[in-house]
A and B are shown apart, each in its own frame.
Chain A
């Protein structure tokens, strides 16, 4: 159990193309979070920016210091944290560590990415470089791993591909009620099932989009009236080369981070009322729910089809639309998950996507295809 509380949140809409720079988007989200927390920049004692590749996407270095200058934060500890697609949650983790260590009492965390600032080919090449060199030589990409896992899952458990499409339909339906989501239109099962193939059996609607956006939170050690406690946050690495895992469906980093987070927060799966899961691909939502122990191996697809992970189900998953439909600006995603949980736990989410009276929420942010995972549990104090 930590003594860190989320006291303010704010984000930009995630978009397929935003003309703002990473600094501009980060600043916009930061002001919204500071305003929500009623905190002045001069009172911030540490700033932690989650960002994967601003230097590569738009030639920006020193983003954390530029942000402090833009906000008027002076004399604070400031750093930028890079953990590929889990950079956001890793920045939250760094902030909580700073608070727990007494090095900071009021932390501002900003996750940001402007993926469309680079040409599509350059962005694709950049992201494909996070795999092992021998995987890179074969042209392996993250969708490739997802396709391999999906093929194995469907065959192992004798599942129809429409079960994957159900994940996409659910998350797009949730995003339709989220004004910050990149996609705000529901899709049909048929649209998902007939969209162009990307990495068979996965299709376009099984994959998250390329996104621009920023998300920010304020963390404080002194609780406020509507502050949400960070019950626990922790991370775990997995293998770098995906094929070195003993089981193609195992993501050990997720299992370890989830287990540790639940132990640290003194909760079980049954105590979690809402979850934000790293659904960069539909198959990942299923695998991660199983690795986290919410479902036995091979059961998450049935639960999804049965509506258990829908807003009114037993365990609402990705009420804000997830990476799939809210969008996935790499460094911003992990922070956006915390924002969604905070809105849900404060009862601030729009009624159309509000989970009924949640007391605890879990967020899972994953780097690469499970190279690293960060799990956070938030609770109403």
Chain B
């Protein structure tokens, strides 16, 4: 059930409360499969980069941020603006993140106004 959740959703274990973003079928702490997804809200940029050499189907340049949310859920995701370390961000409107055979859509993270 965890494979097709939106890119702005993370997972929480109903048994022990552990939270994570990177898909796995079982909780890594208690092994429970009782898992549900939830939408991430505001996060803080830990570090950021602008990538100029991008793979086929990915925008260039591609600004990426490592962003930490509540519960120490940390992700690497596309930034929709020039947000950098220390900035507070949230997910914006849905867009194409990657084109091609394995295309992906979802919201980019943008700074809170």
Point out the residues of chain A lying under 8 angstroms from B106, CB to CB. Answer: 137
Interface footprint category on A: 35 or more
**A197:B98 contact, CB within 8 angstroms:** no
Contact mask for chain B residues 65-84; partner A; CB cutoff 8 A; 1 contact, 0 none:
01000001011111000000
Complex interface: chain B residues within 8 A of A199 (CB): 49-53
Q: Which residues of A contact B23 (CB under 8 A)?
A: 132-134
The answer, among A133, A148, A198, for a CB contact under 8 Å with B48, is A148
Would you call A151 and B48 a contact (CB within 8 A)?
A: yes
Task: Let me know if B37 is at the binding interface, CB within 8 A.
Answer: no
A336 at the interface (CB under 8 A from B): no
Bound-state Cα–Cα, A199 to B66, Å: 14
Let me know if A258 is at the binding interface, CB within 8 A. no
Say yes or no for A242: interface residue by CB 8 A criterion: yes
Chain B residues 45 to 66 lying within 8 A of chain A, measured CB to CB, are 46-59, 62, 64, 66
A139 and B76 contacting across the interface, CB-CB below 8 Å: no
Which chain A residues lie closer than 8 Å to B85 at the CB level? 151-152, 155
CB closest chain-B residue, reference A126 = B55
B38 on the A face (CB < 8 A): no
Q: Is A136 part of the binding interface, using a Cβ–Cβ cutoff of 8 Å?
A: yes
**With A125-B55, A243-B21, A248-B66 as contacts: A138 and B46 at CB distance below 8 Å:** no
Question: Is B50 within 8 A of A197, CB to CB?
Answer: yes
- Most chain A CB inside 10 Å of its own CB: which residue of B21, B52, B74: B52
Is A128's CB under 8 angstroms from B7's CB? no
Complex Cα spacing A13 to B11, Å: 48
20 residue pairs A–B, Cβ–Cβ below 8 Å? A125-B55, A125-B56, A136-B102, A137-B7, A137-B97, A137-B104, A138-B76, A138-B77, A139-B98, A141-B54, A147-B50, A148-B64, A151-B85, A155-B85, A196-B52, A199-B49, A200-B50, A243-B21, A243-B74, A244-B21
Residues on A lying within 8 angstroms of B by beta carbon are 121, 124-125, 128, 132-141, 143-145, 147-152, 155, 196-202, 240-244, 246, 248
Extra contacts besides A134-B21, A200-B52 (7): CB < 8 Å: A133-B23, A138-B64, A141-B55, A145-B76, A152-B47, A241-B22, A243-B21
